Structure formats: C-alpha cells, structure tokens
Structure 1
Amino acid sequence: MPADVRAQVPPDVVEIERGLSRISHLLSRARQHHQIATEAGVPIDRAAVPILRLLAEAGPQRPGDVAARLAVEAPHVTRQVQRLESIGYVERVPDPADRRAYRIRLTAAGREGVDRILGVGCQSILQALSDWTPQERAQLATLFNRMVDDFVRHAAERGVLPR
C-alpha cells in the first residue's frame, strides 16, 4: 500500500486487512483442503465445499440462485453440480414453483459428506485455538460473523454481490 494511502487508513484497519489476507491465504491452499478432505474421507475438490455447505444450510436451490449466493459464475456451479451428481452427493429435483426449472438438493451421501468435512474443519479450528477460552472463541465468532455480514452488505451496496 502506498505511504500516502496508508497514512489515511487507521492502523487497526491495516492490521485487519493484513490478518484477513493471511487467513485467506491459509484457507485457500489446496493442500489444506486436501488434508481435510482426506481426513474426512470425502472425495471432493475445494470448489465444491461452498456449494455443499449452502445446500446443507439453505436446502434445495436453483443453480442460478447457488451461483448468485456464492457470487460465482453459473458455469462454475454447473460443473461442480455435475461432479457432485456423479459421486452421488447431489441430485436434481423439479422446482415446485416452476415445472420447467429444477433445484439441486443434497442426497443422504452428500449430507454425510458435508457433515464430515465440517466436522474435521471444526476439530482443526478447536485444536488450533486450544489455548483460547470458550469466551474468547465466542467473542471471535460474534465479531467475525458481524464483520462478514457487514462486508457482504457493503459489497451488495456496491453491486459486487447480489442483494
């Protein structure tokens, strides 16, 4: 960051950006995902995890809605859904609101797979934060979710994400 821009930004914001950059790099490493997927015994690539997680949390979705909610291009979702269908993790079902459309939903195997991935991920976080008190973890969770919600709102207002 240029010195003139850095001088205008409060030091705490610079440190937040630095921390986010570090965690983003850590979480986006393919090796990290491969380790979690291997421990969980789930044969999916890291691009499929957000789709499975969304379906687990929100229920069946149209492919376009999945793409919009994850802020990715529709062809990305189509490719991932095809892969997930081929291993039996998702299935296409008629959309009750529009017979011409379909929704994607988790199968029992998909639910089990996403649960195993999330379980291994949560255990990894618990181990990494083993010196933290439950109160510190709760405070982090509250502030982290508040920050993400504010980032999403801000991005939607700027037209970067759907509202």
Structure 2
Amino acid sequence: MQQETADDLIRTIHTLQRTLRCLTQHGANTGGPGVALQGVMRMIGEDGELRATELAAKLGIGPAGMSRHVAELEELGYVRRRPHPQDRRAYLISLTELGESVLREALAGRTVLLQEALADWSEEEAQLASTTLGSLSDSLFASFRRAPGTTAPTPETPVSLPQELTTK
C-alpha cells in the first residue's frame, strides 16, 4: 500500500469514528447508560461472565477506569459481581436482567439510527460496507496480534484492538 493511500485510509477511519460517535451519542440521550457504558455492557453481554481484568484488556482501558465503569453499572443495577469460585481475589462480572434489557434496547436504537442515516443505501451497498469493514478490522487485529510484546489470544482470552483503534 502506498503512503498516500494509507494516509487517506487513516483520515477516512478517523472521520468514520467521529461521525459514528456523534450519531450514537445523539441517539444515546435517552436517560440510559452513555455510549462508553454501553460499550462495556456490550462486551459483557458478548462474553457472559468474565473477570474485570479480562474486560479491561478487551476494552483497552486500565484497571482504575474499569473499576469506575463496573461500579457505576453495578449501582445502576445493570451488572452484578460475584466472587470468583477459584480465585478469592477476583470477581466475575455479568449483566443483570435489567442490564440485558437496557442493552438490547440501546442496540436496537443504534440499529434504527443507522438504518435511518443510510436510508438511501441499497442492501448490497450496506453488505459490501460491512464485509469491507469486517475485513479491515480482521487485518488490523491480526497485525496487532503479530506485533512485538503482544500475546496471541486463545479462544478463552481474546484480545481486542487498542482503544485508539476502536470506537466505543
């Protein structure tokens, strides 16, 4: 890939991130959890029950930030923590029924926002964009896994892209 193409791709990705952030923040003003907390809830929802350290690694944030997010979500009644049965120092975090419901509603709202924003797109255009973005994400993720100092994930402990490469 030529440098000019890589520069254009980076600019396009940044523009997409900012636009998605604006769109989702506009749609998140419903009184529920904000976009950042929804991202945390989505990761918990995808994985079921997991340790806070695993969740922090997947989101690319530190333990202190993760602790604040979990405490806020727990106070709102969206997550529960229980002692890890094999490690008394650790807790397992999962969504409550309320958390699952709120997350479903938030994701449904985002889907509607995207459908409305892209109403002039054909199904084929949307599928092509999804496939292309998925391929880009997979390639970036594979590159991240190969980078020095990173550990290749196992099926039990997947690694996510660093926070600066993702939008939550």
Higher helix share: 1
Tell me which residue corresponds to 1:22: 15
Residues 84 and 12 (structure 1), Cα distance of their counterparts in 2 relative to 1, 3 Å cut: same
Tell me which residue corresponds to 1:5: none
Q: Using the TM superposition, give the Cα deviation of residue 95 of structure 1 relative to its aligned residue in structure 2, in angstroms.
A: 2.5
Secondary structure class of the residue paired with 1:98: coil
- In 2, Cα distance between equivalents of 1:75 and 1:120: 30
Q: Return structure 1 stretches of 4+ with deviation > 6 angstroms.
A: none
2:69 is the counterpart of 1:80: yes
Secondary structure class of the residue paired with 1:130: coil
Residues 19 and 63 (structure 1), Cα distance of their counterparts in 2 relative to 1, 3 Å cut: same
Report the count of equivalent residues: 152
TM-score under structure 2 length normalisation = 0.79
2:28 is the counterpart of 1:37: yes
Structure 1's unaligned 5+ residue stretches are 1-7
**Aligned-partner residue type, residue 104 of structure 2:** D
**Aligned-partner residue type, residue 12 of structure 2:** G
Identity across aligned pairs (percent)?
25
Residues 140 and 103 (structure 1), Cα distance of their counterparts in 2 relative to 1, 3 Å cut: same
Larger RCO of the pair (alpha carbons < 8 Å, separation 6+): 2
Tell me which residue corresponds to 1:56: 45
Q: Which stretch shows the higher mean deviation, 51-60 or 87-96?
A: 87-96
- In 2, Cα distance between equivalents of 1:143 and 1:10: 20
Structure 2's unaligned 5+ residue stretches are 153-168
Tell me which residue corresponds to 1:158: 147
**Aligned-partner residue type, residue 27 of structure 2:** I
